[in-house]
Structure 1
Amino acid sequence: MSHADESAFDRYRRDVTRPLARLFREYGTSRARWLTVGLLANLVAQAASLLPPVVLGTAIDSLFGSGTTAYTLPFVPQSVIPPTAEGQFWFSAALIAGSFVVTGAFTWVYGVAANQFAHDVMHAVRTDSFAKLVRLDMTFFDDKQTGEVMAILNNDAGNLETFLDNALMNSLRLVVMVGGIAVVLFTLNWQLALVTLVAVPAIVLLTWWFMRVVAPRYRARQSANAGFNTRIENGISGIELVKTTNSEGYERERVRNASRSLFETTMSVLKLSYFYRPGMELLAGLSFAATFLVGGYWLFTGTAPGPLTGELAVGTFVTFIFMTQRFVAPLAEVSNIVDQVQNARASAERVFGLSDIPVNIEDHDDATVLEDPRGVVAYENVSFAYRDVFGEVASDPVLESVSFETGPGETVAVVGETGAGKSTLLKLLLRLYEPTSGTVRLDGHDVEDLTLSSLRDAVGYVSQDTHLFDGTIAENVRYGRFDASDEAVRRAAKAAEAHAFITDLPNGYETRVGERGVKLSGGQRQRISLARAVLRDPPVLVLDEATSAVDTETERAIQRSLDRLSEKRTTLVVAHRLSTVVDADEILVLDDGRVVERGAHDELVARDGEYAALWNAQTGTADEPLSEGRR
């Protein structure tokens, strides 16, 4: 992949090292109590589960056979064992029953603690990832892949939870079972134990090979899964465009291709797994078969086979058979553990890849809190070109050497052809982007020296791309000022000419608008967005094509309200309809990022330049009388 084709995820994910160790370092340390309880409980439960086969083997040789073998148990002092056969029988029964009770109780403790730890980590990963996401610069979202982000918050966090809850604890269980079984078997008969464990080196080598080969395949599958999510999200969010352009077939093909990629990468993993898993089961099964063959022959003939020496008791052989069965199951599960570990490693790389994307637009260490803002805005020789998330220039200059100043009670309008840089110019005031050169000031402060919260509290922004959240109309108007009273919400709606249509709805202000406000018209959404800005009562109001989706009559009503609202505040307007800015104190005409004309409406029309051409094109007149406000 070339540098130019890399996404932010690709670049920073590539640099993540030891992702699972980092996961424990950043998220496990503060939750070590639950992890420790889970690990210890798992240890006790697995150790207790090994006791019944040992007790059974001892009882067979000492109580149920000839009775000539002394009753002894590994690691149990002889002083606690009853001296009589009857006492030893009841002692054996009590040990077996007690081991099951202990296993069950500590398995429950382990389950609670392990899930508390795993789900708490998953919760923290999701919330931290989203917190980082909303802090990222707008340059990240200009090239966003929503499906990729959703995959991190859902699939990848879920994979980490599975790893912490299942793979981690199962790994411990495997270590305890194999280690404990090995100790017991070597204590009972070290020669037969060597036969039982002969496959372990081959198992270790096969696992090491599998983990090395399968790791890149898991990364490819996670990436394909994110691409599939993106394709689905795009198709659903753009369903209206899909239908109105008769493009259902095209979208089906794109989803089919994304699904095929996910299918192929998944099969690439599974094909390797289908080799590894049977291989593990075969090796574990060979251990059992070798134990049965050698031990059974030893008992059947009464002679130690091959280089083996000594005798083998029936009870010891039974213990070996039971223990080997317990040994086979954990080894057969290694493939599942490896699968979960590799999944988690790929997911952790993606989570930390997102976490490591730098945030360039944030508060400086000595940032100033803007108090009692007046709303004096100044642009001083501002130039701008888009940068990518790596901080490198990614476009030709969008703005060049733009300067103007305005204050409370004044309105500055920015007009020009599509793509002239109008919206970008005003977004610089909110530090959604930062100029490549020049300075944007608010009340004499460079906006880069202000805290983002105080800067954005001072500016009310209404975008041409109106966004409403799935909720009630009242909740959407309150967004950004969540403690506003019902009366304040209504006053803001009236100022935005929204109250009338809201009260006509079946549930009024409690009407749910649907995802992205799909249950409302474009004009209704814009008026709610405008009411949201009015409710915040900022000293600076930025209107980016804020009335583009309303009809002429509503636009005039909104304009009258805006005229009242603008009397004591600074208003910056991006307008395509020049009729909405004829009363602006100053109009800036942008062409290819440069201010080519500036002045009041009548002055610019009389100048017969760029603005006059735009005006004539919209009105169809060459000569326009002076506006009422300027006669």
Structure 2
Amino acid sequence: MSVTTRLPVADSPAVRGYVRRLARKHPRMLGGALLLHVLAALTALAAPRLLGNLVEAVEKGTTTGYVDRVLMVLAAFLVAQTVLTRYARYISQVLGEQVLADLREDFVDNALGLPIGVVESAGSGDLLTRTSRDVDQLGWSVRMALPEWTIAVVTAVLTFAAALSVGWWVAIPCVLGVPPLVIGLRWYLARAKDGYLRESATYSAISAALTETVEGARTVEALGIQQDQVDRVDDEIRDSYDAEKYTLHLRTVFFPSMELSYLIPTVATLLLGGWLYTRGEVSLGDVTAATLYVQMLIDPVDRIVSILDELQMGAASLSRLLGVADVPDDRTATGAQPQGEQIDVTDVRFSYAEGRDVLHGVSMSVAVGERVAMVGPSGAGKSTLGRLLAGIHPPRAGAVTVGGTPLVDLPLGELRGHVALVTQEHHVFVGTVRENLVLARPEATDPDVLAALASVDALAWVEALPDGLDSVVGSGGRALSAAQAQQVALARLVLADPHTLVLDEATSLIDPSAARHLERSLAAVLEGRTVIAIAHRLFSAHDADRVAVVEDGRISELGSHDELVAARGSYAALWESWNGRG
């Protein structure tokens, strides 16, 4: 069974272009690293020539003093090589860290810029795998594999040049090793990238299956489909096993075949050099130096080939990370400016899946400063409509506008100054309470932060923390209760200061009495703002200017609380049931 990812993967030209841009971003450090690698390789090349000369001198007769001088020079080159290699590796790894930081920042920017609808439809497994495994794999490639491969390439080129300096005849045994090397590389490279992409995709599928099973554990248990989920995970693991077995097969065929290309040049150099020596065309020192140079070629060429496997995995990971940027935007900023803050919904239709609308021709207007409550049964489309009102999703048909300008025509930064969504989901970032809040407005002062906390009834417990606003919360810090985390999210919203708020069950995790008190406190702060509240607690509807009843993807009733109660329709039935009189 083939495995594909829903998020795109960048093609090879895009990957090469990105690598070139990164290289141009750090020219001095890259040039310095290459220079040091070249110097280190050159100092290593002195040994075979010195040893060849020593062998020739011994053959002709020499003195102990000459041998000692050669050994001292050899030791000096060895020390120089060690020092140069040390600094070359150091600069390469520093460069690798900077490049990796650039890659991570670009990936985070691209991931945060993904349309929320795309993230939801792709599932968390794919993006999670790219964020974790692919970043880790790329980190290894950039920190270790790429610098080592660069060293190997530089060393191989200079060593080959040094071998040719002994005599043109050395090229013949070296060329004999090229055909098996080229054939093996072409065979491997034609299959490796697709194999590693498939392998990464199977990890995404496993992550998705496990995440969905854990997040929906209660539903799985309630429906009695535990074995179905186990079977699904088993299938994904089986696919992953097949993918890894395939890449292992590539390696077990490729690497042993490379050994042949390593042995042929060494043996051929000895045979050809020995034959030329017997004819008196080369000296014994030349044969010795040539054999040592060709022998020296084995290590860098072997590292080039071996690390190429790591680079293939890194290239596959980079393709997946860059692919996030290829997701088309779901909105196009036109530069149009809203003329006011009125929200208008005109004949809106929306579907998560092709041909299956969940909203059917919804129309409504929300005046500036009006408070509208949306109520209705679960699955009726309230949250979906709320997300369209907040500009999260573009409608399939129709339009949602603010001040006459479609929400999807506004850049996200500008959109959030007009409309913001607060859902029942919340997140506490690692950092201080202050840092969590000023994310919404970096220039906010402590009095601003304290006022926002007070507006959502959170000031008392924040001031009671050991370090107040400087108390560290989130993972590794002080754990906040669900209600406290939600209050932090609401305070962050107050600081963001949007004109229109869409509250989707925003107080669902706070007990009813506290939630009612919180909403009344929040109402005082939000005086004059437009508020669209999606809730199943009908006291929110009682306090609203108008109530929209959403049923089966349509607005079935729209009016004030008193008007809808008097109409004796769906809302009246809900209200009676809520008050225990139904």
The TM tier, using the shorter chain, reads: 0.7 to 0.9
1:589 aligns with 549
Asked if residue 402 in structure 1 is aligned to residue 363 in structure 2, the reply is yes
Distance 1:359 1:516 in 2: 35
Q: Give the CA deviation at 1:445.
A: 4.2
Query: What is the aligned partner in structure 2 of residue 580 from structure 1?
Result: 540
> Partner of 2:344 in structure 1?
379
Q: What residue number does 1:315 align with?
A: 285
Aligned partner of 1:118 in structure 2 is 96
Unaligned runs of 5+ in 2: none
Residue identity opposite 1:570 in structure 2: T
Q: In 1, distance between residues paired with 2:324 and 2:448?
A: 39
Rounded to whole Å, the distance in 2 between the matches of 1:56 and 1:608 is: 104
The match for 1:104 is: 82
Q: Deviations over 1:323-372 (max 9, x none)?
A: 232122223324313202321331232122112111222533x243x7xx
TM-superposition CA deviations, 1:448-482 (whole Å, max 9, x none): 44443233124353312233334444444444134
Structure 1 249/519 Cα, relative in aligned 2: closer, same or farther at 3 Å?
Answer: farther
- Is 1:64 matched with 2:58? yes
| Structure 1 residue 558: Cα displacement | 2.2
- Structure 2 residue 39 is the aligned partner of structure 1 residue 44: yes
Indicate if the aligned counterparts of 1:406 and 1:412 stay in contact, CA closer than 8 A. Answer: no
The 8 Å contact of residues 44 and 77 in structure 2, kept in 1 or not, is answered as yes
Report the alpha carbon displacement of residue 142 of structure 1 after superposing the two structures with TM: 1.5
1:31 aligns with 2:34: no
Separation in 2, partners of 1:171, 1:338: 8
Listed as ranges, the gaps of 5+ residues in structure 1 are 69-84, 304-308, 623-631
Q: Which moved more, 1:431-440 or 1:258-267?
A: 258-267
In the TM superposition, what is the alpha-carbon distance from 1:28 to its structure 2 partner? 1.9
How far does the alpha carbon of each residue in 1:79-118 deviate from its partner, in whole angstroms, 9 at most, with x for none? xxxxxx8997687456534433442343234323322332
CA distance in 1 between partners of 2:6 and 2:365 (Å): 35
What secondary structure is seen at the aligned counterpart in 2 of 1:582? helix
Moved more, 175-184 or 17-26: 175-184
Asked if the contact 1:126/1:153 (under 8 Å) is kept, the reply is no
TM-score, length-scaled by structure 1 = 0.80
Amino acid at match of 2:569: G
Correspondence 1:434-473 to 2 at 5 A: 434-473=394-433
Confirm whether residue 137 of structure 1 aligns to residue 107 of structure 2: no
8 Å CA contact 2:40–2:84 kept in 1: the answer is yes
Distance change >3 Å, CA 27–CA 147, structure 1 → 2: farther
Cα deviation, residue 416, structure 1: 1.6
* Equivalent in the alignment of 1:625: none
Change (3 A) 1:382 1:36: farther
- Distance apart, 1:30 and its partner CA: 2.0
324, 329, 333: which is aligned to 2:303? Answer: 333
- 1:346 maps to which residue? 316
Provide the aligned C-alpha RMSD in A: 3.7
Opposite residue 492 of structure 1, the aligned amino acid is A
Aligned partner letter, 1:54: R
| Native 8 Å contact 1:280 1:331 kept in 2 | no
- After superposition, the Cα gap between the structure-2 partners of 1:229 and 1:200, relative to the gap in structure 1 and judged at 3 Å, is same
Contact 1:361 1:431 in 2 (8 A): no
What does residue range 160-175 of structure 1 map to in structure 2 within 5 Å?
160-164=138-142, 166-175=144-153
Q: How far is the alpha carbon of 1:428 from its aligned partner?
A: 2.5
Provide closer, same or farther for how the CA distance between residues 234 and 426 of structure 1 changes in structure 2, counting only shifts above 3 A. closer
Contact 2:115 2:330 (8 Å CA) reproduced:
yes
Change (3 A) 1:321 1:585: same
Q: State the AA in 2 paired with 1:267.
A: K
**Which residues in structure 2 correspond to 1:268-283 (within 5 Å)?**
268-283=246-261
C-alpha displacement of 1:513: 4.7
Deviation at 1:523, TM superposition (A): 3.4
Task: Specify the code of the residue in structure 1 equivalent to 2:298.
Answer: V
CA contact (8 A) 2:347 2:362 kept: yes
Counterpart-to-counterpart distance in 2, 1:514 and 1:132: 24
Shift of 1:295: 5.0
Matched AA of 2:456: A
Deviates more, 1:560-569 or 1:183-192: 183-192
What CA deviation, in whole Å up to 9, does each residue of 1:247-282 have, x standing for no partner?
Answer: 998877766655554444223212321222122224
User: Contact 2:149 / 2:303 at 8 angstroms: preserved in 1?
Assistant: no
Between the two proteins, the alignment pairs up a number of residues equal to 582
Residue 528 of structure 1: CA displacement?
A: 3.2
Query: 2:173, 2:266 within 8 Å by CA — same for their partners in 1?
Result: no
More displaced stretch, 131-140 vs 415-424: 415-424
Q: Quick check: 1:477–1:532 contact (8 Å CA) kept in 2?
A: yes
Percent identity over the alignment is 29
For the residue of structure 2 that corresponds to 1:577, the secondary structure is coil
**Equivalent-residue separation in structure 2 for 1:139 and 1:516 (angstroms):** 31
Q: Which amino acid aligns with 2:308?
A: V
Post-superposition Cα deviations, 1:395-446, rounded to whole Å, max 9, x if no partner, equal 41424131223122x3111112222222222322332112334343334544
Pairs within 5 Å for 1:597-608: 597-608=557-568
What amino acid sits opposite 2:60 in the alignment? S
Structure 1 distance, partners of 2:435, 2:163, is 68
Distance in 2 between the 1:421 and 1:221 partners? 38
Is 2:48 the counterpart of 1:53? yes
Secondary structure of the equivalent of 1:468?
coil
**SS of alignment partner, residue 605 of structure 1:** helix
Cα distance in 1 between the residues matched to 2:143 and 2:475: 34
- 1:363 aligns with 333
Distance 1:251 1:592, change over 3 A: closer
Matching residue of 1:627? none
Distance 1:220 1:64, change over 3 A: same
Shift of 1:161: 4.8
Amino acid at match of 1:592: D
Structure 1 pair 105–456 and aligned structure 2 pair: CA distance change class (3 A): same
The residue type equivalent to 1:276 in the other structure is F
* Secondary structure, aligned partner of 1:558: helix
Is contact 1:129–1:351 with CA below 8 Å preserved after alignment? yes
Q: Distance in 2 between matches of 1:558 and 1:177?
A: 69
Aligned equivalents of 1:184, 1:501: Cα separation in 2: 74
1: CA distance between counterparts of 2:532 and 2:258? 69
Partner amino acid, structure 2, of 1:119: E
Q: 1:460 to 1:162 in 2, by over 3 A?
A: closer
**CA 1:482–1:248: 2 relative to 1, 3 Å:** farther
User: Which residue does 1:152 correspond to in 2?
Assistant: 130
Cα distance in 1 for partners of 2:260, 2:528 equals 82
Residue range with higher mean Cα deviation, 151-160 or 320-329 = 151-160
Change (3 A) 1:573 1:177: closer
Q: Within 5 A, what are the aligned runs for 1:531-550?
A: 531-550=491-510
Distance change in 2, residues 1:417/1:529 (3 Å): same
Instruction: Indicate how the Cα distance of structure 1 residues 256 and 492 shifts in structure 2: closer, same or farther if over 3 A, else same.
Output: same
On the 8 A contact 1:460/1:534 being kept in 2, the answer is no
